[in-house]
Structure 1
Amino acid sequence: MKGLVYGGPGARSWTEIPDPAIRDPRDAIIRVDAVTICGTDLHILAGDVPEVKPGRVLGHEAVGTVVETGSGVGGLTTGDRVLASCISACGICRFCRDGAYGQCRGGGGWILGHLIDGVQSEFARIPFADLSTYKLPERVSNEAAVLLADILPTSYEVGVLNGRVRPGDTVVIVGAGPIGLAAVVTARLFSPAHIVVIDKAENRLQAAKMFGADTTVLAGTDDPLSAVRSLTADLGADVVIEAVGTPQTFELCTALVRPGGRVANVGVHGKPATLHLEDLWIRNLTITTGLVDTYSTPKLLDMLVAGQLDLGHMVTHRFGLGEFMRAYDVFADPARSGALKVVLAG
């Protein structure tokens, strides 16, 4: 079969790789029916995630059909259509028992496309399959479901819930990529008074408006601080969600938040960011970080089925499974391509 293989910083190839095989009784093998590319994959290719070694198959977001199960898998059968979560959960360790699956110490956590081969391939091995996959109702399309593998639960848990978004809040989201746009969608569930989105690409700000942002700020042209203060009687935002992962955007977030407010960092950082405690110590801020746990995935799937989550405009480009090299080029250059989320289907 073929897969998208990481060859070191800046190097990737769609090439022949061995077929996956059951290695543990709790494994399942899926045929990959729909898969997408994450901003984290771009961070890996930039060399920001040194744990990923050359030769690794990338990818951690897929929908597939079960073709084989290990003897310890009780909840899946051949032919089941499933969402493969970006997080694998052993279900036994202390963190899994607390629902913190991203911190699993039993061999799970974020391992797909990171510590083991991922799902950007024709077939994939899914560890702890009973706890790390979700059967999909017929009415949910592969394209909609694949967005629940990572970006929706990440934005919801690490951004909106960690930021404790409440009715009447002013919420600022720095970054209008897929994670930032998913934060707009899930923040709206809590009826904030204002959602402000800041980005340097006009096409992504237009997408943010389509998903429900009230105000957009074009970074580099508009003044984010003035825009936020004008909405908040000069106080600052109640919640600021960092959805980029650069030192500049993190420091901007800490400048935009009001005294007593919350900064929820979602972005993957490849370089150190300065925490200006000389200014922040007196402001009673809460700053959170986090890797998604995906405990919210069943609830988000229920909301998707019920029509409470509108994801119809998130996927902007579609490719065949063999077009990974082109899909990466498009996804990595959103200013030129206008890409939000790309989906590849078998």
Structure 2
Amino acid sequence: MKGYVFHGPGQASWEEVPDPGVKEPTDAIVRVDAVTVCGTDLHILKGDVPEVRPGTVLGHEAVGEIVEVGSDVRTVRPGDRVLVSCISACGRCRYCRESMYSQCRGGGGWILGHLIDGTQAEYVRVPYADLSVHPLPGALAGQDAVLLADIFPTAYEVGVLNGRVRPGDTVVVVGAGPIGLAAIATARLFAPERIVAIDLAASRLEAAKGLGADAVADAGEAPEQLIADLTDGLGADVVIEAVGVPETFDMCTRMVRPGGHVANVGVHGKPVTLHLEDLWIKNVTITTGLVDTRSTPTLLRMASAGRLPTSQLVTHTFSLDQMEEAYEVFGNAAETGALKVVLGEPRHDVVATRTT
């Protein structure tokens, strides 16, 4: 089979790799029908995630069909159409028992495309299949469902739930990329008074409006003053950091009100200065986190009922063998306007966009 293999910072290619097989009785082998590229994959290619060894197949999100299962797998069987979660869970360790699957100590957590071969391939081995794949409702298109493998649960859990968004809040989302947009869409479920999106790209700010942002601001044009004006000088109740650079994190801490929440979702590749000399007196809560995917079953039900705007985030589609092209388009989003790229099964209501 073929897969997208990491060979070191700035180096990866779509090439022949060995077919995966069942290694443990809890494994499942999934034929991949749809995958996407994540911002974390770009961080890996930049060298920001040194744990990823050269020779690793990248990717941690997929929709596909079960083709083989180990003897201990009970919840799925060959022929089932499933969502492959970005997080694997042993189900037995302390953290899994507390639904904190990202911190699994039994060999799970974020391992696909990180510590073991991932989903950007024709087939993938998924450990701990009973808790790490989710049967899909028949009516849910693969290109919609694949966004529930990572970005929607990440935005919802690490951004909206950690930030404790409540009715009547002012919510600011810094970074209107895929995670930020999913945070806007899921924050709306809690009826905040207003949602403000901040980004440098006009196209992403337009997308934010389409997904429910009440106001938008260019990150280079004094967004902090806008937030002060909207809140009578108090600041935002919840600020969600969805970029992952020192400047945006610092901006978030300046925009939050005393007693408010800063929910960091962005993946940081550089040290960030925490100005405790200013924040210690303000009763500010700062949270971090890797998604646990405990919300995935709920989000799947909502998507199946048409309650999540997943299709609005897919701007480009490709076949699996166009993986290198898809990375180029996604990695140059400022020029291409890409939000999410999906590779695999076609869907008639999304027009495939290709670079020349």
* SS of the residue 2:301 aligns to: helix
Partner deviation per Cα, 1:40-66 (whole Å, 9 max, x = no partner): 000000110010011110000100100
Report what 1:251 is aligned to. Answer: 250
Report what 1:9 is aligned to. Answer: 9
Kindly tell me the number of residue pairs found equivalent between the two proteins: 345
Q: How far apart are residue 75 of structure 1 and its match?
A: 1.4
Identify unmatched segments of 5+ residues in structure 2.
346-356
Report what 2:111 is aligned to. Answer: 111
Counterpart residue type for residue 224 of structure 2: L
Partner deviation per Cα, 1:152-211 (whole Å, 9 max, x = no partner): 000000000000000000000000000000000000000000100000100000000000
Rounded Cα–Cα distance in structure 2 between residues aligned with 1:185 and 1:266: 15
Partner deviation per Cα, 1:78-107 (whole Å, 9 max, x = no partner): 110000000000000000000000000000
* SS of the residue 1:53 aligns to: coil
Rounded Cα–Cα distance in structure 1 between residues aligned with 2:335 and 2:122: 29
Rounded Cα–Cα distance in structure 1 between residues aligned with 2:305 and 2:4: 35
Q: How far apart are residue 77 of structure 1 and its match?
A: 1.2
Report what 1:23 is aligned to. Answer: 23
Rounded Cα–Cα distance in structure 2 between residues aligned with 1:41 and 1:300: 23
Report what 2:45 is aligned to. Answer: 45
Rounded Cα–Cα distance in structure 2 between residues aligned with 1:103 and 1:313: 31
* SS of the residue 2:240 aligns to: strand
Report what 1:76 is aligned to. Answer: 76
Rounded Cα–Cα distance in structure 2 between residues aligned with 1:201 and 1:306: 31
Report what 1:223 is aligned to. Answer: 222
Residues 289-304 of structure 1 mapped to structure 2, 5 A cutoff: 289-304=288-303
Rounded Cα–Cα distance in structure 1 between residues aligned with 2:61 and 2:163: 24
Rounded Cα–Cα distance in structure 2 between residues aligned with 1:7 and 1:177: 26
Rounded Cα–Cα distance in structure 1 between residues aligned with 2:188 and 2:94: 33
Rounded Cα–Cα distance in structure 1 between residues aligned with 2:299 and 2:312: 17
Q: Check if 1:307 corresponds to 2:299.
A: no
Rounded Cα–Cα distance in structure 1 between residues aligned with 2:224 and 2:74: 53
Report what 2:181 is aligned to. Answer: 181
Q: How far apart are residue 345 of structure 1 and its match?
A: 0.2
Rounded Cα–Cα distance in structure 2 between residues aligned with 1:76 and 1:258: 47
Q: Percent identity?
A: 67
Report what 2:354 is aligned to. Answer: none
Rounded Cα–Cα distance in structure 2 between residues aligned with 1:160 and 1:6: 32
Partner deviation per Cα, 1:283-337 (whole Å, 9 max, x = no partner): 1100000000000000111111222212221100000000000000000011100
Report what 1:334 is aligned to. Answer: 333
Identify unmatched segments of 5+ residues in structure 1.
none
Q: What TM-score comes out, normalization by structure 1 length?
A: 0.99
Counterpart residue type for residue 315 of structure 2: T
Q: Check if 1:233 corresponds to 2:218.
A: no
Report what 2:212 is aligned to. Answer: 212
Report what 1:269 is aligned to. Answer: 268
Report what 2:94 is aligned to. Answer: 94
Rounded Cα–Cα distance in structure 2 between residues aligned with 1:129 and 1:16: 25
Counterpart residue type for residue 320 of structure 2: L
Report what 2:160 is aligned to. Answer: 160
Rounded Cα–Cα distance in structure 2 between residues aligned with 1:244 and 1:52: 21
Query: Mean Cα displacement is larger for which, 117-126 or 304-313?
Result: 304-313
Report what 2:127 is aligned to. Answer: 127
Counterpart residue type for residue 97 of structure 1: R
Q: How far apart are residue 74 of structure 1 and its match?
A: 1.2
Structure 1 segments (4+ residues) deviating >4 Å: none
* SS of the residue 1:253 aligns to: helix
Rounded Cα–Cα distance in structure 2 between residues aligned with 1:247 and 1:53: 26
Q: How far apart are residue 16 of structure 1 and its match?
A: 0.4
Rounded Cα–Cα distance in structure 1 between residues aligned with 2:5 and 2:216: 37
Rounded Cα–Cα distance in structure 2 between residues aligned with 1:45 and 1:247: 20
Report what 2:319 is aligned to. Answer: 320
Rounded Cα–Cα distance in structure 1 between residues aligned with 2:51 and 2:243: 21
Counterpart residue type for residue 90 of structure 2: C
Rounded Cα–Cα distance in structure 1 between residues aligned with 2:62 and 2:268: 24
Report what 2:142 is aligned to. Answer: 142
Partner deviation per Cα, 1:232-273 (whole Å, 9 max, x = no partner): 001100000000000111001000100110000000000000
* SS of the residue 2:289 aligns to: coil
Counterpart residue type for residue 160 of structure 1: V
RMSD: 0.6
